[in-house]
Structure 1
Amino acid sequence: MVIPPADNHPQGLIDGKININNLLGFGFGVFFVTVILVFAVGFPNPTQFQYYVFIVVLSLAAAGVGAILPGALGIEWGGAIAGVPVVKAGGALGLFVVVLAFSPVLQTAAVRLVEPTVPVEPVALTYLQATDTGDMQKAWNLMDEEAKGLVVPNVQDWEVTYRNFRVPLGLLESRLLVGTTGMNSPTGVPIGLYRGLTYKSKFSADEGQCRAEVVVLRATQDLQWKVFSHQISPTRMPC
């Protein structure tokens, strides 16, 4: 039997030699995996902010553990601009990117949404009363924080839109609820329970005709309905 020389043995885990950087990365990853497990038990239904913190910590944990795993990993994420990928990563950083890329899927699986006990329409009517009386600051305060910057850029643009479109309609003469819709975390918007209330609204400047007015509300783990969007049809219809 021929025994190969000792210096022909594979380097690394077999001969007990581990790169200190890989070891530190692995220890870092194991620590944060443990932290995530504790959070998963202590916060089974995280808020939006808690979820963002969890997903970043989980990404760092995956990168730390991946630093010591053998093999190669290359990631291109976000398409390309002029032939150049928006994000390109390999190795441990690639695992970090993978976790971030699947963040929406992880969030949908992690969050359990419960219907608030408070009825949705009183919240919508409180908001609509604020817009009817021109109290746009109150209306802004009733908006969902996730909608601010997404549906409505800022309070200044919100007030400009009100002055340019809502004010010319005149005073509200009547408002009748004609339909409701409901969806759970539709594509393209933040997760949550969504309820759409459609009204047939009559304004003084419309000469006896009405407009469709839709208020969409959203609720998450805080169990509170908040206004996500508000639209008034530019076209009129018979009352």
Structure 2
Amino acid sequence: MKLFATLLLLSATTFAHAQDAQNQQAIDEAKQAATEWLALVDAGQYKASWEQAAEPLRKAIAVAQWEQAGRAVRMPVGALQERTLASSTYTTTLPGAPQGQYVVLQYTTRFADRANAVETVTPMREADGKWRVSGYFLK
């Protein structure tokens, strides 16, 4: 009985470590996708950022509206000065979003005209296995 309990505990621990490793790999891949996507937004290339975004984002907003919204949100804060990752969370559910694989990334960001901002970027793994940004919020 002790042997069975020990094997069960060992199996659960091994599974948890494997799951953590998979989640960390997903987070790393999502961070890379977010970094590349944010570079487009930082450069004012809103059309390109829309083209590189996940399908749900592209279906939710037309490219012209995305460009207009990008300028309206980013121009008042000025140029990027510094961005630091504050948190990253892997999840399979988000409110109002379909079931899937998501990573919610929060950055503390300093812009030229706004010293204390929080950016939330949410990449998702799409059907082709690639991570693409499905949401962006600036506070």
Q: TM range, normalised to the smaller chain?
A: 0.7 to 0.9
Report whether the alignment pairs 1:144 with 2:54.
yes
Report whether the alignment pairs 1:176 with 2:91.
no
Match of residue 124 from structure 1: 34
Match of residue 215 from structure 1: 121
Q: Which protein has the bigger strand share? A: 2
Amino acid at match of 2:137: Q
Match of residue 161 from structure 1: 69
RMSD over aligned CA atoms reads 1.9
Q: Which has the higher contact order (CA 8 A, sep 6+)?
A: 2
Q: Which is higher, the Rg of structure 1 or of structure 2? A: 1
User: Does the 8 Å CA contact 1:191/1:220 hold for their aligned counterparts?
Assistant: no
User: Does the 8 Å CA contact 1:146/1:190 hold for their aligned counterparts?
Assistant: no
Give the direction of change, closer, same or farther, for the CA distance of 1:158–1:127 in structure 2 (3 Å limit): same
Structure 1: 5+ residue stretches without partners: 1-113, 234-239
Shift of 1:224: 1.0
Shift of 1:187: 4.9
CA distance in 1, matches of 2:87, 2:101: 17
CA distance in 2, matches of 1:220, 1:127: 15
Q: Which protein has the bigger helix share? A: 2
Deviations 1:37-56 (CA, angstroms, capped at 9, x unpaired): xxxxxxxxxxxxxxxxxxxx
Figure out how many residues of one structure are paired with residues of the other and give that number: 116
TM-score by length of 2: 0.75
User: Does the 8 Å CA contact 2:44/2:71 hold for their aligned counterparts?
Assistant: no
Aligned-pair identity in percent equals 25
Match of residue 230 from structure 1: 136
SS of 1:229's equivalent? Answer: strand
User: Does the 8 Å CA contact 1:196/1:214 hold for their aligned counterparts?
Assistant: yes
CA distance in 1, matches of 2:49, 2:94: 24
CA distance in 1, matches of 2:95, 2:78: 35
User: Does the 8 Å CA contact 1:170/1:203 hold for their aligned counterparts?
Assistant: yes
Match of residue 80 from structure 1: none
Report whether the alignment pairs 1:202 with 2:110.
yes
